[in-house]
Amino acid sequence: MKRIFLPTAVVALCATAAVRAQEVADDSLRMYRMQQVEVTATRADAKTPVAYADLEREAIARSSYGTDLPSLLALTPSMVATNETGIGIGGTSIRLRGTDATRINVTINGVALNNPDSHAMYWYDTPDLVSSVGSIQVQRGAGLSTNGTGAFGGAVNMTTSALPTSFGGSASLSYGSYNTQKQAVQLSSGLMGGHWTLDARLTHIASDGYVERGGTDLKSYMFQAGYYSGRTMLKLLSFGGKATTALTYTGATKEEMRLNGRRFNPEGMYMVSDGWSQRVWHGDPPEWKEVAYYDDQTDNYLQINNQLIFSHAFDDKWTVNATAFYTYGYGYYKQYKDDAKLVEYGFDPSIAFTPDGSKVRRDVIREKLMRNHLGGVNASALYSVERFDLSFGGSWSRYSCPHWGELDWVEGIAPEATARRWYDNDVDKTDANLFVKASWEAARGLRLFADLQYRYVHYEAWGVNDNYVDSSVGMQPIDVDERYDFFNPRAGVNYTAGRHQLYASFAVAQREPTRSDFTDRYRFAADDSYPTSERLYDYEIGYRYEAPRFTAGVNLYYMKYKDQLVPTGMVNDGSDVLNVNVPDSYRRGVELTASWRAARWLTASANATFSQNRIEDYVDLLSASPSYGENLGDRTIAYSPSAMGSLLLDFHWGGFQAVFHTQAVGKQYFTNNENEALSLGRYCVTNLDLAYTLGMKRARSVRFGVTIYNLFDQEYCSNGYGYSYMDTWSEATPRRIDMAYYFAQAPLHVLANVTVKF
């Protein structure tokens, strides 16, 4: 009897285990399928007539040593990354087709990350986000309907990594030049009970920076919890962190860098008569100054992002997605201002003026604070059959943010006299949209596409701003109450025949002004009018060829603008670019891409962009005819290089990988009058990433890596700004003074990394 029972029991147990293993595999497969359809409404695919580039997890992982995401995004066509600290950590930003970050829509899981007020994307407010991103799509031009501010140069669409189905984790350590370091640990539960899974990450990133006193200290977290049941998924995400970055946005003039070194940073500097810590060349004309530096010249910010994502597939045709989100932020600048005018901080005239009417100047330590709340919901439905795809949905969000200033210390003034707010204002913004998209295969290989979006914006700002206007006005009053109704249609056609694909599209995009467009306009405008919204007509036509080992593409674009807000070249004291409407302008160019798998162990890819970016009949207000300005004719738009390109070589053999990437960027002007004194020279920078991965018995893998940045030790600046003013007091004849400031990048430097996955 035992002889019969034992073999039978063994067979039964094996069969049960096999069934259970199959159930787990099925659960895992269903889970991955649900995560794949999580966010698709804002994504393009091979059938969509849109110029785009995808960055997959392998490329993303190579950039997770500690540098900010812009360094990774610079791998895509027409993209430039900039940095203030000189090493890709801290004050980083991007430009796409010459447009700045306030005109590039950034989303994660369909939720907008751009600040609704400034439209800017502050990458260091979400430290080490790259370690939690599973895929990135960069759409160039107007792209598809999206949530948040309009895409005037393009859109960066990210999704978080899919939750793993098996238990595991990783630990990562990085260290390199300028005391740059990263420590990160990540742990995943795997699929529990066939339905539940958890994932968490903690990271610390720090660096002294290349520029003096350019330190960065970033702490971040990511937590995900998912529930999966059949065709239903519910996922909770929370991510964010606390950032402390030294202020580096002033930059330095070429003369200051020549006299004091390329690492010179004037932030927090004040003059002293004795006990000085450093002597520097400063002023115009430059002379030796005895100076010291305030050691808490910092930007401090806490941001917490929360998302609750629901997805349900009714069948193979219908899927619905909904995301509720809430973001909290609180932060402040802390700054030392040398020899500040007290009248500009709202002091009573009895304190701010001497008996003879002169303005009293004192050193001050000030804080500029903000606390913001953003909440809302995105929803979409997708219907797909063999030859027809339909998606529709919408989004609603509400943003509120008080801004205020406090004085920590004023030289010679009792603390009780400074215990007040020297400015105080509030912002409320409502942003909502509805969209419908359809894609129909009208004939074999021929697909028609349409995308219609309505967007409503209500922007309010009121109170007193931090700008001192004059003695009659005092601190600048703010009273903005603007509503915008935007209708943004898109249409296109895509034809595929074998390995060949041809597409064309037309899109309209519209966008409201930013906070600084409203509040800082008085600095250069001849009247008190508000800026107008801007409109883009985007024409794109492209061709792609795809073979098993070779792909190539060409994309032609013509972006015609009405009332585009272009940089004046000036910035406010928060480093925000000041913009002005110009009636007619355009960007047109050609984008070339190619990739060749030359061998199993070698892949080469390249891209290049050649463009014209022009303002038609540009009027320079700073001229000999101040009442009317001077019409300079067609001029190049600021920060718009006419040529740029990059080359990437990927060598991989066994566990070894070497990735060589070089990028060249053409000349850029800081202002729109093509002033050579206010320009950034062309540059070319090369990075080399080396890594070796070992398979281990007690760990899935151990990866040793080192990245050599600026391999050929080039002296270059990735960004800068400039402005001009008329000197009417030094001589009888007014003369134009040009001021240009630059952000120097580090010479050859390295960052090593070891990552253990288990």
Q: Tell me the C-alpha distance between 712 and 749, whole Å.
A: 10
pLDDT for residue 14: 40
pLDDT for residue 5: 37
pLDDT in tens, 336-354: 999 999 999 988 888 889 9
Residue 531: asked if its preceding bond is cis (omega within 30°), the reply is no
pLDDT for residue 277: 59
Helix (H) or strand (E) holding 564: strand 550-571
Helix (H) or strand (E) holding 72: helix 70-73
- Per-10-residue mean pLDDT of the chain, 758 residues long, equals 39 39 51 58 85 88 85 94 93 93 92 93 89 92 86 90 90 96 95 92 96 96 93 94 94 92 93 67 70 93 97 92 97 93 89 90 95 96 94 96 96 88 96 96 96 96 90 88 96 96 96 91 72 96 96 98 85 73 95 97 97 92 60 92 97 94 97 93 97 85 95 96 84 86 97 94
Q: Where are the beta strands (DSSP E) in 412-528?
A: 421-443, 446-470, 474-497, 500-511
Q: Tell me the C-alpha distance between 638 and 370, whole Å.
A: 30
Report long-range pairs for 67-73 (Cβ below 8 Å, ≥24 apart). 67/751, 68/92, 68/123, 68/124, 68/130, 69/123, 69/129, 69/130, 69/133, 70/94, 70/123, 72/130, 72/136, 73/136, 73/138, 73/156
| Amino acid code (one letter) for 294 | Y
Query: Under CATH, which architecture does the 52-247+297-757 domain have?
Result: Beta Barrel (2.40)
Task: Round the CA-based radius of gyration of the chain to a whole number and report it.
Answer: 28
Residue span(s) of the chain under CATH 2.40.170.20 come to 52-247+297-757
pLDDT in tens, 116-143: 999 999 898 888 998 889 899 999 999 8
Phi then psi dihedrals of residue 24, to 5 deg:
-60, -45
pLDDT for residue 7: 40
Closest CA to 132 of 305, 377, 300: 305
Q: Give the DSSP letter of residue 162.
A: P
| Amino acid code (one letter) for 388 | F
pLDDT for residue 753: 95
| Amino acid code (one letter) for 654 | G
Which residues make beta-bridge pairs with 41? none
